[in-house]
Structure 1
């Protein structure tokens, strides 16, 4: 059976200072008790098996306040995620607000954007054209798949 990478460091011999031995655990206060070579007793921080030790019966030293520099350094871990979110939102915004460039139509023709309810027959009839004339001016036009926002070249309005 293979051992885990840090399994060897999971014993008191590896984790405690030389001469220190774990001798008890108080479930009520969730603190471990240790004894050193001199016979002095030490306690760990609440809920920690290893870590900072203080003499038994004495208050633990106050926690060291976090410096403003250390507090602000956490942002450098989050900054790439914020940048990624901003980029995704910008791309999404560009996709939603994107409008195609106007279609370049030949002489005597103008650009027309299909509106809701438009059909090839209606567009051609409004311009005095036939549907075949509309299809000739717009190569590959499929009247069955006409949707609002499509661009067509139509005869100039008179």
Structure 2
């Protein structure tokens, strides 16, 4: 069985200060006991094998609760990211929901909005026109990529 890369560093000799050795574990309180070079006993925090230690029999120093101001400070650093996300979403929403400006057609022609199922041939035929005539008036028209909502200029029927 192969050992992990850092398994050798996960030992008392590597993790504890020099002269300190682990001598016991109390399963009821879930605390480890240590002895220093002078024979004094120490205890670790509940549930931690390594970490902060205190003299045995004494209460550990109270942990400092997180103040509401510290919680606010954490969010304050995230606020610019939230603002950026909101701005990007608003710009995308504006782009997606914006309606295109009406197409301005030459005199004698009217604006036509392509509906579902329309083809260049149907549109031209309904107005007594040819597809080539439709393409001539609508410069750059690609009939293969005609989509509902596209705007064309057509002869007044």
Q: Tell me the TM-score normalized by structure 1.
A: 0.68
Q: How big is each residue's C-alpha offset from its partner over 1:116-150, in whole Å with a ceiling of 9 and x where there is no partner?
A: 34343553455x44124323212343445432111
- In 2, Cα distance between the equivalents of 1:131 and 1:26? 93
2:26 counterpart residue number: 26
- In 2, Cα distance between the equivalents of 1:143 and 1:64? 71
1:131 counterpart residue number: 130
TM-superposed deviation, 1:56: 2.3
1:89 aligns to what SS in structure 2? helix
1:46 counterpart residue number: 46
1:64 counterpart residue number: 64
2:50 aligns to what SS in structure 1? coil
TM-superposed deviation, 1:84: 5.7
Q: How big is each residue's C-alpha offset from its partner over 1:60-82, in whole Å with a ceiling of 9 and x where there is no partner?
A: 23221113332223325644653
Q: Tell me the TM-score normalized by structure 2.
A: 0.68
- In 2, Cα distance between the equivalents of 1:54 and 1:145? 76
1:96 counterpart residue number: 96
Give 5+ residue unaligned stretches, structure 1.
none
Give 5+ residue unaligned stretches, structure 2.
none
| Cα-Cα RMSD | 3.6
